[in-house]
Structure 1
Amino acid sequence: MENVEQEFLSVIREYERVIYKVCYLYTTPNATLNDLYQEVVLNIWKAFPKFRRECKISTWIYRIALNTCISFIRKEKNIPEIVTLTQEADRSEEDDETQAMLQQLYRMINRLGQLEKSIILLYLEEKSYEDISEITGLTVTNVATKLNRIKDKLKKMNKED
């Protein structure tokens, strides 16, 4: 059992930032970043002994994180709200102009639907279309189509702002 715990803790440490990024995009007043993070880690812990290594562990973690956050938000859907960027981003490495552009991007992403958020998050994490397909359950063609539509939607939002 201790071996499983050590392996689990190692995985959580390795993918902590990934989990936080996914949770961050789904944060609302009713679903705080820490609440979502704890819920995701708990679900990873529950599923960890059953992980069959049929896919990459990063794919498996993304899938659990996205599904957990989406389920959590569905339960708390009373008050949709746009989330602002917090100290979770590496502000020390970015200049003010880049920071402003990032904040704008996150505001626009938060206006997207849940599936669209998931897809663009994975794209921004430089996941391949195949990985995005595996995580979301969509076909690769559908991922490409949706990604193009999301990019168009974000461009339109940017022009409107």
Structure 2
Amino acid sequence: MNKELEHNFVEQLEKHQNIVHKVCRLYTNNKDAHNDLFQEITIQLWKAYPKFRGDAKFSTWMYRVGLNTAITLYRKSKRRVSTQDFDAVQFKIKATEYDDTEEEQLKLLYKAVHQLNDIDKALVFLYLEDKNYKEISETLGISEVNARVKMNRVKNKLRTILNP
């Protein structure tokens, strides 16, 4: 890989790393698992970066790779995330600490979201990131109408979970 490609990747990753942290928060329950998943998503992003054509925004592409990596690992390991050796990747990323002191209501929401299936989690995540239904549908690979229908169903599920 050339140095310019590596530099551009690191710059984009540092700029948008909160996306990866948010995906990790959805699919993990502790700091070690969060860090392992962050590392794995970073590796998958790096492997896929040479094929990134720029048809979508970097952040949209990053959501897609991050969610797909998390869902794949989550399904394979049944809540235990396995990782690859990070030594093969030679660049350094300045990681900002993820603030784990969330408000109580946000913790309750995350606890409720953890009870959803993988696709519903991804849908809620993108919705909470203020993505419109067009962006959600592109990221998840479903139709815009399907994204709207699924989101309404997920909202009802969350209401039921949060207000039994």
| Aligned-partner Cα distance in 2 for 1:103–1:123 | 17
TM-score (norm 2): 0.84
Corresponding residue pairs, total:
146
**1:90-142 deviation line (CA, Å, top 9, x unaligned):** 74xx7xxxx11111101000000000000000000000100000000010000
Letter matched to residue 4 of structure 1: L
- Which residue, 98, 112, 116 being the options, matches 2:120? 116
Give the aligned partner of residue 153 of structure 1. Answer: 157
| Structure 1 unaligned residues grouped into runs of 5+ | 80-86
C-alpha separation in 2, matches of 1:6 and 1:129? 32
Higher relative contact order (CA 8 A, sep 6+): 2
Q: Which runs of 5+ in 2 are unaligned?
A: 81-96
The residue that corresponds to 1:35 in the other structure is 36
Hey, what does 1:84 align to over in structure 2?
A: none
Could you give the per-residue CA deviations for residues 136-157 of structure 1, whole angstroms, max 9, x where no partner exists? 0010000000000101111111
Matched ranges for 1:73-88 at <5 A: 73-77=74-78, 88=98
| Residue equivalent to 2:147 | 143
Task: Let me know the Cα RMSD of the aligned residues.
Answer: 1.8
Stretches (4+) displaced over 2 A? 87-91
Match in the other structure for 1:83 = none
2:127 partner SS: helix
Query: Given the two structures, how large is their TM-score scaled by the length of structure 1?
Result: 0.85
Alignment of 1:8-47 (within 5 A): 8-28=9-29, 32-47=33-48
Residue 61 (structure 2) aligns with = 60
Distance 1:41 1:126 in 2: 23
Deviation at 1:89, TM superposition (A): 4.2
Distance 2:112 2:99 in 1: 16
Q: Report the counterpart of residue 105 of structure 1 in structure 2.
A: 109
Q: What's 2:134 paired with?
A: 130
SS of the residue corresponding to residue 163 of structure 2 reads helix
Deviations 1:11-47 (A, max 9, x none): 1101111111011111157x80111111111011011
Displacement of 1:70 after TM fit? 0.6
Match of 2:94 in 1: none
